Structure 1
């Protein structure tokens, strides 16, 4: 009988498997901009997620119509609000360490 994994136990990946997973992640990160990369900050990642969500809302008219109905607003107003929310969805970017040294 196979032993069940204990909660909190780590899975031992071989060197090849670990390299393969990292290679797949790097491939996805170069292929799709929104997936970020090793140097992507938390703010950049969150901004990408928020913008992708708002763009999806704007791109699907039925979803906009649903939001408009729930908010008792015209569809055009909800669309405008979504577009406005894409400008700085997570606030101003934090100061970079590079900028502070100058």
Structure 2
């Protein structure tokens, strides 16, 4: 029983420390947004990946970096509307 409690406490501390880990109430939109934001942050953190993407897109590295930063605002679009009952 103590192992189960310890595991739950460790999970809760990870969820508090790292926003993208998710929890039982995480929606699909939040989950995919976190994944895309992590991806864009990774692209910006690896200059060779930015260079590779800029060659493929036919633009400069700075334009690709700017595009990644802009996409981090709403990475998968606006959240879905919630119907109230």
What is the deviation of 1:87? 2.2
What TM-score results when the alignment is normalised by the length of structure 2?
Answer: 0.79
1:81 to 52, 64, 67: 67
CA distance in 2, matches of 1:58, 1:19: 38
Q: What's the C-alpha RMSD, in Å, of the aligned pairs?
A: 1.9
Aligned residues: 85
Question: Which of 1 and 2 has greater Rg?
Answer: 1
**Pairing partner for 2:10 from 24, 27, 49:** 24
Task: Summarize deviations over 1:56-102 as a string: whole Å, max 9, x none.
Answer: 212322221121123332112211221222121112112235xx24x
Task: Specify every segment of 5 or more residues in structure 2 that has no aligned partner in the other structure, as ranges.
Answer: none
Higher relative contact order (CA 8 A, sep 6+): 2
When normalised by structure 1's length, the TM-score is 0.68
Give CA-to-partner distance per residue, 1:11-53, whole Å, 9 cap, x none. xxxx333222222111100111221233222211211111121
Structure 1 gaps, min length 5: 1-14
